[in-house]
Amino acid sequence: MKWYLLRRLLWTGVATLVILTVTFVLMDLVPNQRVLEAQFQAAQQGVDVETAVQAERERLGLDRPTHVRYFDFLQSVLQLEWGWSYEYNRPVREVVLRKAPYSLMYGLPAILVSTVLGIAIGLYSAVNQYTKRDYVATFGAFFGISIPNFWFGIVLLVVFGSVLGWVEIGFNPQLAENAAGNLVWLDTATASHPAFIGEEVDGPRRVGILSPGNLKQLILPTVVVMTASIASVMRFARAEALEYVDADFVKTAKAKGVGNWRIVGKHVLRPAAVPLTTIIVGRILGLVLFGAYVTELVFGIPGIGLASFRAVLTQDTNLVMITVLLPTFLIVLGNLLEDLIYVVLDPRIDYGDR
Amino acid sequence: MTGDDYKRGATPAGDDTDRTATDGGAGGTFETVEWDDIDRAGPSRRAEAVWILVTAPWLVCAVQVSLQFLASLASGGGGGGGSLAPLPVVGTVGPVAWVGSALALGTAYYGLRPLRRSRIATLWLGFTGVWLAGVSATAVTQLGDESGLAAFPLLGVVTPVDWLWLLTVAVLVRYGVVPLSSNRRIARYYWRQFRRNTAAVVSAIYLVVVFVVGIVGARVVPEPSPTPGLESQPPAFVSVPSYVTGVDCPGGTRMEGGTELCQGSLAHPFGTTGAGEDVLRAVIHGMEVSMQVGLIATLISLAIATAVGLTAAYYGGYVDEVLMRYVDIQQTFPTLFLFLLLAYSLGGSLFLLVVIFGFFGWGNSARLIRGEALQRREQLYMQASKSAGASPFWTIRNHLLPNVSNSVITAATLSIPVIIIAEATFSFIGLADPTIPSWGRIISDGQGQLRNAWWISTIPGLFLFCTVLAFNFVGDALRDALDPRHGGEES
């Protein structure tokens, strides 16, 4: 088993290296923003363009041989020195730290709720196969996997924002901050708080991540991200659970008079959970992260996804690279975690084989 | 093979001791081999000699010209590609002519061998020949000349995506429609299985309509173009305040409660976008784009996945290990994020999207197909084929592949909806080719006008949603109908 864990960790290292290498090659193809700028300036000032470009390349270290730059790149990424973001005019790491909480605010609840609810509905559906409720759940799952995230977000905004007027169409990031502009869990603020500019405010109001106003504007994005993943989890959970619903050990348990809840929880869920973890991490995590990327765009949430999108538009190469690498590494980590959970969930797994 | 065969099946196995299955042939005897017939079926010596006499000089010229072409490419540098050298008698021969003559020689060679070949096989051979010729001509002009893609007589300019699309549709006909129409009994059996699922039948009809309207409509209906004055026209039977729309209002205006309302007209049944593009036309053109992306990329990825999965399963051992480790490595980088980076560094286009999803999105399918093939590998028919001396390719193609085709179709139904949504998403965030009338692009056009002009985003989105939903329903029903493991479960 130690050998298995060691191999698994080594593999994660290989995967990381592959991802970083592909990224390095692709990013090397993009013309450097700084060099282009220098070229432009030199042309404007009437200086010799060639020498100006050469000087800038030397200053940035771009004239060094490829392998030197490659190792330099690996080192800096792994040491969390992610370079400078020209759009935000501060280090990329700071930008990411500033933006990440907004992505987590709706992403974490969405992933947790969809996993738990998805598995619960899937199990329920499997146990009550071919009943009306099963059909309703199955149809709901089809709806969930078929509706494009970004369009669902738009439709919800039209219905609840424009038609019913229950939520604001624009996202107000200041609602999660205190008056000084720092993220807080819960605080009270006066009318001078930047979130309430242009509004009639009487008396102190609550701000912060857990404040009612902030939670309200997070509902729709959470629902959108949740829909797709809940449907996928549910379908896979149902399919996996069906394999065990008629198994001999389940019949034995029933014959012995074990309660329904206990059968589902202990005799169906546990064997079904092993392949489920693979599916949830391997197939769904990537879709959820990418869906979140677009959801932020639709709702205007200033998280990692929106930052990445704006970086693409403004050619902020360092920021693009890191914001794409982050979710990719999350998936790699998720895969590692999944294989480690295997050990706990299924003692029968033969480690020598893998 | 007729009456005798039937009797053989009807008698219990123990009765006919002299006609066991191992001695092969109909009625328990080997067929007589007519070697003279087989000899006569080959090309005559003289015809072959003439063919060689023509081909040899052609080959010499082709090699010489291509060498010169490569040399001029290497030395030309910034001169905009290489140039073709003139030949002694015929002068300069253009790329299209080269490919055409190659095709003619190839056809002549196959024509010399009047082997038994069905009409369908001949047609297919002809089509692939023409297709290959066209693709090579396009590739040659694109590589050698900066002036653009080759223009063909009758067809005009054919883009790389169009070539792939043509091949995809042809493959669908050749390996989907033709076998089903020639084998009615099996087709009826599948239909009976499939018919049980009403949602799937409705979905299939919807998909066929989208497919046909998309292909025909994209060629008949002109592309939507921005029209000043016709901005944000509401759909038919809907009216919005006049200040929302452009200055013109073909549906007429009316007054209600002090505001002037602009009514929708049947000239633009789905209204127009904020730039004055007709939404209906955009929807029709978007149909083809969605179908193209979903089907082409799936075809490419399935072809690779099947080849890799079957090879790995058939050979096992080191071949299996190497191929599957490669799949692991490829899957470390999720396709969606890989395309995001590529679109940033190289610029997104429909062709790039199809190629990336086709060539890097086959990992899961390959695993699925390999898993199925591993079980089939141990079957008796595989052993029989091997011991009869069949080559690995023959065994894989004729015995392994047909028996895992269920898994291949399952993999296809899982991948098409994902790719269609991915394309729409990339068009929505503006990382795809902005000149392509994709549904995602129209949805993003309308995003800024949700309050006033809801139809711009919602109508194309509804089509996108229905298409993906229909593919999922059909896929589910196909899996039930084809997969023996799930057969009869859902009835």
What is the per-residue pLDDT for B311?
92
Q: Please list every residue in chain A whose beta carbon sits closer than 8 Å to the beta carbon of residue B424.
A: 148, 150-151
pLDDT of residue B41: 58
> What's the confidence (pLDDT) of residue B304?
93
Dump pLDDT digits (tens) for B386-396: 888 888 888 89
- Residue B349 vs residues B160, B346, B352, B356: alpha-carbon distances, Å: 11, 9, 5, 11
* Beta-carbon pairs below 8 A across chains A and B: 112
Q: Is B362 a residue whose pLDDT tops 80?
A: yes
B430 vs chain A: nearest CA distance in angstroms?
Answer: 9
Nearest to B469 among A146, A283, A287 (CB): A146
The DSSP line for B369-400 is: HHHHHHHHHTSHHHHHHHHTT--HHHHIIIII
Q: How is domain A99-172+216-345 classified at the CATH fold level?
A: MetI-like fold (1.10.3720)
Question: Chain A: nearest CA to B202, how far in angstroms?
Answer: 15
Q: Which residues of A are less than 8 Å from B417 in CB distance?
A: 145-146
Collect all residues with Cβ–Cβ distance below 8 Å to B230 and sequence separation of at least 6. Answer: B245, B246, B248, B250, B268, B272, B276
Contacts of residue B29, Cβ cutoff 8 Å, sequence gap at least 6: B23
Minimum distance, in Å, between the CA of residue B88 and any CA atom of chain A:
43
Say whether B242 sits in a helix, a strand or coil: helix
Q: Which two tokens stand for residue B150?
A: 């080759």
- pLDDT of res. B48: 77
pLDDT digits (tens, 9 = 90+) for A1-22: 677 788 888 888 888 888 888 8
**B450 in reach of chain A (CB within 8 A):** yes
Mean pLDDT lowest among A24-28, A207-211, B166-170: A207-211
pLDDT above 70 covers what percent of chain B?
Answer: 78
With an 8 Å Cβ cutoff, are B341 and A26 in contact? Answer: yes
Q: What phi, psi does B261 have (nearest 5°)? A: -105, 140
A47 touches chain B (CB under 8 A): no
Residue B213: predicted pLDDT: 92
Q: Distance between alpha carbon B75 and the CA centroid of its chain, in Å?
A: 38
CA distance B304 to B306: 5
Kindly indicate the confidence band of residue A191, based on its pLDDT and cuts at 50, 70 and 90.
Answer: low
Q: Which of B345, B417, B468 sits opposite A30 (nearest CB)?
A: B345
| Interchain contact A10–B (C-beta under 8 A) | no
d(CA B404, CA B375): 10
Which pLDDT does position B74 carry in this prediction?
Answer: 65
Packing angle of the helix pair A92-127, A212-245 (nearest 10 deg): 40
Task: CATH 1.10.3720.10 in chain A: give the residue spans.
Answer: 99-172+216-345
Chain B nearest-CA residue for A290: B336
Instruction: Say which DSSP state B122 is in.
Output: H
- Is B334 within 8 Å of A145 when comparing Cβ atoms? no
Q: At what angle do helices B279-315 and B363-377 cross, to 10 degrees?
A: 40
CA A72/CA A114 separation, integer angstroms: 40
Per-residue pLDDT reduced to its tens digit, A156-181: 888 887 778 777 777 777 777 776 66
SS (H, E, C) A91-146: EHHHHHHHHHHHHHHHHHHHHHHHHHHHHHHHHHHHHCCCCHHHHHHHHHHHHHHH
Nearest residue in chain A measured CA to CA from B342: A26
Whether the CB of A145 is below 8 Å from some CB of chain B: the reply is yes
B360 or B33, greater pLDDT: B360
Q: What is the ipTM of this complex?
A: 0.83
- Residue B23 confidence (pLDDT): 45
Q: What mean pLDDT value characterizes chain A?
A: 80
Domains contained in chain B, CATH given: 51-158 (no CATH), 202-219+282-486 (1.10.3720.10)
Nearest to A328 among B333, B440, B447 (CB): B333
Write the pLDDT tens digit of every residue in A221-253: 888 888 888 888 888 888 888 888 888 888 888
- The answer to whether residue B189 neighbours chain A at the CB level (below 8 Å) is no
B-interface mutation test, from A139, A154, A297, most B Cβ less than 10 A away: A154
Q: How distant is the Cα of B133 from the closest Cα of chain A, in angstroms?
A: 32
Residue B26 is which amino acid? A
Residue B238 at interface with chain A, using a CB cutoff of 8 Å? no
- pLDDT at site B301: 92
Closest CA to A205 of A197, A91, A213, B159: A213
Helix ranges, B15-155 (H) = 35-41, 45-76, 95-111, 119-144
Nearest 10 degrees: Cα torsion A236, A239, A240, A243? 180
Give the pLDDT of residue B20: 43
Is B371 an 8 Å CB contact of chain A?
no
Nearest CA in chain B to A23: B341
Q: Do A146 and B336 touch (CB under 8 A)?
A: no
Helices B401-428 and B350-360: angle between axes, nearest 10 degrees: 140
**Residue B284 · residue B275 · CB < 8 Å:** no
* A43-100 pLDDT per residue, tens: 888 777 778 778 877 777 777 777 888 888 888 888 877 777 877 888 888 888 888 8
Please report the pLDDT score of residue B109 as a whole number. 72
B119's CB contacts (< 8 A; 6+ apart) are none
Q: Residue B332 and residue A29: Cβ atoms within 8 Å? A: no
B469 touches chain A (CB under 8 A): yes
pLDDT in tens, B94-127: 666 777 777 777 777 766 665 556 677 778 877 8
Assess contact for A189 and A207: CB atoms under 8 A.
yes
Number of Cβ atoms within 10 Å of the Cβ of A236? 22
- The label of the residue with tokens 């809801």 reads B454
Chain A contact present for B121, CB below 8 A: no
Joined together, the tokens standing for residue B312 give 């790995």
The residue of B244, B335, B429 whose CB has the most chain A CBs within 10 angstroms, and thus the best one to mutate to test that interface, is: B429
A 283-322 residues with CB below 8 A of B?
Answer: 283, 286-287, 290, 294, 297-298, 309, 312-313, 320-321
Q: In 10 A of CB B353, how many CB atoms?
A: 28
Confidence of residue B33 (pLDDT cuts 50, 70, 90): low
Torsion of CA B406, B408, B413, B416, to 10 degrees: -170
- Secondary structure class of B322 (helix, strand, coil): helix
DSSP string, A242-291: HHHHT-HHHHHHHHTT--HHHIIIIIIHHHHHHHHHHHIIIIIHHHHHHH
- For residue B65, the tally of other CB atoms under 10 A from its CB is 18
> For the segment B194-235, what is each residue's pLDDT rounded down to a tens digit?
888 888 899 999 999 999 999 888 888 888 877 777 777 777
Given CB atoms, is A119 within the 8 Å cutoff of chain B? Answer: no
What band does B73 get if pLDDT is binned at 50, 70 and 90? low
Query: How far apart are the CA of B373 and the nearest CA of chain A, in angstroms?
Result: 19
Q: Which chain A residues contact residue B468 at CB under 8 A?
A: 146-148
CA atoms of A342 and B281, how far apart (whole Å): 52
| Phi, psi values for residue A289, rounded to 5° | -65, -40
CA proximity to A224, closest of A98, A125, A113: A113
For the cut 50, the answer to whether the pLDDT of residue B4 exceeds it is: no
Q: What is the pLDDT of residues B324-352, one digit of tens each?
A: 888 888 887 888 888 888 888 877 788 88
Among the partner residues B334, B447, B469, nearest to A142 by beta-carbon distance: B469
Q: Rounded mean pLDDT of chain B? A: 77
Structural tokens at position B227: 């029209």
- Cβ atoms of A299 and A220 closer than 8 Å: yes
User: Chain A residue with minimal CA distance to B458?
Assistant: A155
How far is B256 from chain A, CA to nearest CA, in Å?
A: 20
